[in-house]
Structure 1
Amino acid sequence: MTTRTARTRNTTRPPGRHDQHRPPAVVHRGPHHWFADRLLAVLTGRRPVHSLMGHTVGPAYDQLIALAPADPRCEHLTPVIRGCGRFTPGPGVIEAFARIATGDRLTALAFRLEQGPDLRWRCAAVELQGLRP
């Protein structure tokens, strides 16, 4: 019996692979990226508004209802997030923005996240500038 077949499997690499390379580490991008993805899905009609019900506070849910399309259209151009950034004015608050591209058109999405006593982030305000995605 050879050493190769007798060794125990204490590695994460696939069988038969002998190099030492590991997959890239998962990058933690922050809650503003997660919210930007979900807000875009709601604003384009790919997800229902109520999917963010537990993730919003105050007037933000009403703002989403007003901004979300009543009749989602199936367009040939899918809006994508081209950039997302944030500003932290104080502890437990993130003011974030996302640049949304639909073909050659750009739309700006701004939103405010507040961290509750349970340490969960919730959207407190949403604003859309420019052309609707």
Structure 2
Amino acid sequence: MLLVLSGQCPVHTLLGYATDETYERLGALAPSAPLRPRGTDRTAPAVLEARGTQIRPGVIEAFARVATGHRQRAMAFRLEHGHNRWRCTALELDLTP
């Protein structure tokens, strides 16, 4: 998700790894590359911290703290296991209106 939301990979990279609703959200967010560093700093975004909690078997709710240049951003997501694979079923970013 970080590679897609920073403009380093196309959104179709995650086809099959996200539910339809989450894939549509990624498709809407990807063109603006919200996790791409802004200004003159073009350092690749990096995950500073990631944690998750298994809320029940096959369901993980997680977050990542991401460095995008001189800023830190937050991303929360939900992963669910089914049909022999993990899929992202929800995604939230700390976007400001």
TM-score scaled to structure 1, two decimals? 0.62
- What 5-or-longer segments of structure 2 have no aligned partner? none
- Cα distance in structure 1, aligned partners of 2:32 and 2:73: 19
In structure 2, the residue matched to 1:123 is 88
Matched, 1:107 2:73: yes
Secondary structure of the residue aligned to 1:61 is helix
Matched, 1:42 2:4: yes
* Percent identity of equivalent pairs: 48
Q: CA RMSD in A?
A: 2.2
- Map 1:70-89 to 2 at 5 A: 70=32, 76-89=42-55
State the number of aligned residues: 92
* Structure whose alpha-carbon radius of gyration is higher: 1
Runs of 4+ in 1 over 2 A off after TM superposition: none
* Structure 2 SS opposite 1:46: coil
3-state secondary structure, aligned to 2:76 = strand
8 Å Cα contact 1:44/1:69 also seen in 2: no
| Match status 1:69 vs 2:69 | no
Which of the pair has the greater relative contact order for Cα pairs under 8 Å at 6+ separation?
A: 2
The answer to which structure has the higher strand fraction is: 2
CA offset digits 1:99-127 (Å, max 9, x no partner)? 001232110011110101x2210011111
1:46-94 deviation line (CA, Å, top 9, x unaligned): 11001101111141001101111257x7962221100110011111100
Query: 2 CA distance for matches of 1:76 and 1:44?
Result: 11
Separation in 2, partners of 1:50, 1:64 = 9
Structure 2 CA distance, aligned partners of 1:66 and 1:115? 24
